[in-house]
A and B are shown apart, each in its own frame.
Chain A
Amino acid sequence: MTGRSALTRRRPFGRRAVGTQSAVWQVDGVLLVAVAALCVIGTLLVWSSTRTWAPGATGLVKKHMLNLAIGTAMACAVATVDHRLLRAYSPMVYLLTLIGLVLVISPLGSTVNGSHSWIMLGGGFAVQPSEFGKLGLLLMLGMLLAQPAEGTDRPRGLDLVFSLVAAAVTMGLVMLQPDLGTTLVLAVITASAMVVAGVRKRWMIGLTLVAVAGAACVWFMEVLEPYQVARFTAFLDPSVDPRGVGYNSTQALIAIGSGELFGKGLLEGGQTTGRFVPEQHTDFIFTVAGEEFGFLGSVTVVVLLGVVLLRGLQIAKRCEDRFGTIVAGTIVCWMAFQSFVNIGMTIGIMPITGLPLPFVSYGGTATFANLIAVGLLQAIRMREQSF
Chain B
Amino acid sequence: MNRMRTRLVVLHVLVLSMLAVLSVRLWQVQVMSGAEFVSAAAETRTRDVMVAAVRGQILDAAGQPLVRNRTALVVSVDRTLLSRMKDGDAVLRRLAAVLDRPVKQLERRLRSCGPGVTRPCWPGSPYQPIPIDEKVSTREALQILERQEEFPGVSAEVQAVREYPGGKAGAQMLGYLQPVTQEELKKRDRLKAGFSGVDLVGRDGLESVYDHALRGTPGLRRVQVDRLGKAIGVERQVAPTSGDTLITSIDSRVQAVVEKAVHGAMKRAPKADGAAGVVLDVRTGRVVALASAPGYDPAIWTGGISEAEYQRLLSEKAGKPLVSRAMKGEFAPGSTFKVSSVSAMLRAGYPLNGKYDCPGSFMVGDRPFNNFRGIGLGTLTLHTALVRSCDTIFYKASYEQWLRDGGLRPKKAPQERFAAMARAFGFGRPTGIDLPGESAGRIPDRTWKKDLWAATSADTCKRSRTGYPEVADKTRAAFLKRLAYENCLEGYLLRPGDAANFSIGQGDVLVTPLQLASAYAALVGDGRLRSPRVGWALVRPDGTLVKEIPVPVRGKLPLTEKERAYIKGALSEVASDGTAAGAFSGFPMDKVRVGGKTGTAEVWGKEDTSWFASFAPTSKPRFVVVVMVSQGGMGGSTAAPAVREIYEGIYGFTPKGEAAGAALPDGKPVAVLPMIKRDGTVAR
Interface string of B398-433 (1 = CB under 8 A from A): 000000000000000000000000000000000000
Query: Roughly how many angstroms separate A326 CA and B5 CA in the complex, as a whole number?
Result: 11
CB distance from A286 to the nearest CB of B (A): 10
Q: Which residue of B lies closest to A247 (CB)?
A: B227
**In the bound complex, do residue A258 and residue B40 qualify as a contact, i.e. CB atoms below 8 Å apart?**
yes
Query: Roughly how many angstroms separate A347 CA and B23 CA in the complex, as a whole number?
Result: 11
CB distance from B346 to the nearest CB of A (A): 78
Query: Roughly how many angstroms separate A317 CA and B7 CA in the complex, as a whole number?
Result: 10
B49-107 contacts to A, CB under 8 A, are none
**In the bound complex, do residue B26 and residue A295 qualify as a contact, i.e. CB atoms below 8 Å apart?**
yes
Binding site for A on B (CB under 8 A): 1-5, 7-8, 10-12, 14-16, 18-19, 21-23, 25-27, 29-31, 33-38, 40-41, 44-45, 224-227, 232
Partner of A260 from B16, B35, B40, B45 at Cβ < 8 Å:
B35
How many chain A residues touch B (Cβ–Cβ < 8 Å)? 52
**In the bound complex, do residue A273 and residue B38 qualify as a contact, i.e. CB atoms below 8 Å apart?**
no
Query: Roughly how many angstroms separate A253 CA and B7 CA in the complex, as a whole number?
Result: 35
Question: Which residues from B are CB-within-8-Å of A259?
Answer: 30, 34
Query: Roughly how many angstroms separate A294 CA and B3 CA in the complex, as a whole number?
Result: 41
A195-B7, A257-B29 known; 19 other A-B pairs, CB under 8 Å?
A198-B4, A253-B29, A257-B34, A270-B45, A271-B41, A273-B232, A276-B227, A294-B30, A303-B19, A310-B12, A310-B15, A310-B16, A313-B8, A316-B8, A322-B4, A325-B1, A326-B4, A332-B11, A349-B21
Question: Which residues from A are CB-within-8-Å of B12?
Answer: 310, 313
One of A6-14, A121-129, A336-344 contacting the partner: A336-344
> 4 closest A-B pairs (Cβ-Cβ)?
A257-B37, A260-B34, A258-B41, A295-B30
A248-302 contacts to B, CB under 8 A, are 251, 253-261, 270-271, 273-276, 290, 294-295, 298-299, 302
**In the bound complex, do residue B38 and residue A306 qualify as a contact, i.e. CB atoms below 8 Å apart?**
no
Is there a chain B Cβ closer than 8 Å to A333's Cβ? yes
A302-B26 contact given A196-B4, A274-B227, A320-B1, CB 8 Å threshold: yes
**In the bound complex, do residue A290 and residue B232 qualify as a contact, i.e. CB atoms below 8 Å apart?**
no
Query: Roughly how many angstroms separate A333 CA and B10 CA in the complex, as a whole number?
Result: 11
**In the bound complex, do residue B44 and residue A276 qualify as a contact, i.e. CB atoms below 8 Å apart?**
yes
Chain B interface, >50% SS class: helix
**In the bound complex, do residue A153 and residue B18 qualify as a contact, i.e. CB atoms below 8 Å apart?**
no
Chain A interface, >50% SS class: helix
Question: Which residues from A are CB-within-8-Å of B38?
Answer: 257-258, 260
Q: Which residue of B lies closest to A294 (CB)?
A: B30
**In the bound complex, do residue B36 and residue A257 qualify as a contact, i.e. CB atoms below 8 Å apart?**
yes
Question: Which residues from A are CB-within-8-Å of B3?
Answer: 153-154, 198
CB distance from B161 to the nearest CB of A (A): 34
Query: Which of B30, B36, B37 has the most C-beta atoms of chain A within 10 angstroms of its own C-beta?
Result: B30
CB distance from A193 to the nearest CB of B (A): 11
Question: Which residues from B are CB-within-8-Å of A340?
Answer: 18, 21-22
Partner of B45 from A276, A306, A322 at Cβ < 8 Å:
A276
Is there a chain B Cβ closer than 8 Å to A246's Cβ? no
A290-B41 contact given A274-B232, A317-B5, CB 8 Å threshold: no
Query: Roughly how many angstroms separate A358 CA and B2 CA in the complex, as a whole number?
Result: 30
Query: Which of A274, A299, A332, A343 has the most C-beta atoms of chain B within 10 angstroms of its own C-beta?
Result: A274
Question: Which residues from B are CB-within-8-Å of A309?
Answer: 15
Interface string of A67-95 (1 = CB under 8 A from B): 00000000000000000000000000000
Question: Which residues from A are CB-within-8-Å of B37?
Answer: 253-254, 256-258
Is there a chain B Cβ closer than 8 Å to A197's Cβ? yes
Q: Which residue of B lies closest to A258 (CB)?
A: B41
Query: Roughly how many angstroms separate A257 CA and B27 CA in the complex, as a whole number?
Result: 9
Question: Which residues from A are CB-within-8-Å of B8?
Answer: 196, 313, 316-317, 325, 329
A302-B19 contact given A257-B30, A276-B226, A295-B26, CB 8 Å threshold: yes
Query: Which of B5, B25, B224 has the most C-beta atoms of chain A within 10 angstroms of its own C-beta?
Result: B25
Question: Which residues from A are CB-within-8-Å of B15?
Answer: 306, 309-310, 313, 332, 336
CB distance from A87 to the nearest CB of B (A): 16
A304-360 contacts to B, CB under 8 A, are 305-306, 309-310, 313, 316-317, 320, 322, 325-326, 329, 332-333, 336, 339-340, 343-344, 347-349
Task: Give the A-B pair count, Cβ closer than 8 A.
Answer: 140
Query: Which of B4, B18, B224, B232 has the most C-beta atoms of chain A within 10 angstroms of its own C-beta?
Result: B4
CB distance from A273 to the nearest CB of B (A): 7
Binding site for B on A (CB under 8 A): 153-154, 192, 195-198, 251, 253-261, 270-271, 273-276, 290, 294-295, 298-299, 302-303, 305-306, 309-310, 313, 316-317, 320, 322, 325-326, 329, 332-333, 336, 339-340, 343-344, 347-349
Query: Roughly how many angstroms separate A322 CA and B14 CA in the complex, as a whole number?
Result: 21
Question: Which residues from A are CB-within-8-Å of B36?
Answer: 257
A274-B34 contact given A313-B15, A332-B15, A347-B26, CB 8 Å threshold: no
* Interface pairs (27), CB distance under 8 Å: A153-B4, A196-B8, A197-B4, A198-B7, A253-B37, A254-B37, A254-B41, A256-B37, A260-B35, A260-B38, A261-B34, A271-B45, A274-B225, A275-B226, A295-B26, A305-B19, A313-B12, A313-B15, A322-B1, A329-B8, A332-B11, A336-B18, A339-B18, A343-B22, A347-B25, A348-B29, A349-B25
**In the bound complex, do residue B44 and residue A254 qualify as a contact, i.e. CB atoms below 8 Å apart?**
yes
**In the bound complex, do residue A325 and residue B224 qualify as a contact, i.e. CB atoms below 8 Å apart?**
no
Question: Which residues from A are CB-within-8-Å of B34?
Answer: 257-261, 295
Query: Roughly how many angstroms separate A343 CA and B25 CA in the complex, as a whole number?
Result: 10
**In the bound complex, do residue A344 and residue B30 qualify as a contact, i.e. CB atoms below 8 Å apart?**
no
CB distance from B534 to the nearest CB of A (A): 51
Q: Which residue of B lies closest to A330 (CB)?
A: B11
Query: Roughly how many angstroms separate A270 CA and B21 CA in the complex, as a whole number?
Result: 27
**In the bound complex, do residue B22 and residue A274 qualify as a contact, i.e. CB atoms below 8 Å apart?**
no
Question: Which residues from A are CB-within-8-Å of B22?
Answer: 302, 340, 343-344, 347
CB distance from A327 to the nearest CB of B (A): 12
Q: Which residue of B lies closest to A273 (CB)?
A: B232
**In the bound complex, do residue A255 and residue B41 qualify as a contact, i.e. CB atoms below 8 Å apart?**
yes
Query: Roughly how many angstroms separate A333 CA and B15 CA in the complex, as a whole number?
Result: 8
CB distance from B152 to the nearest CB of A (A): 15
A295-B31 contact given A154-B3, A254-B40, A274-B232, CB 8 Å threshold: yes
A153-B2 contact given A260-B31, A299-B26, A343-B22, CB 8 Å threshold: yes
Q: Which residue of A lies closest to B228 (CB)?
A: A275
CB distance from B431 to the nearest CB of A (A): 56
Q: Which residue of B lies closest to A321 (CB)?
A: B1
**In the bound complex, do residue B30 and residue A298 qualify as a contact, i.e. CB atoms below 8 Å apart?**
yes
CB distance from A194 to the nearest CB of B (A): 10
**In the bound complex, do residue B26 and residue A271 qualify as a contact, i.e. CB atoms below 8 Å apart?**
no
Query: Roughly how many angstroms separate A276 CA and B41 CA in the complex, as a whole number?
Result: 10
**In the bound complex, do residue A275 and residue B25 qualify as a contact, i.e. CB atoms below 8 Å apart?**
no
Query: Roughly how many angstroms separate A320 CA and B2 CA in the complex, as a whole number?
Result: 11
Q: Which residue of B lies closest to A152 (CB)?
A: B3
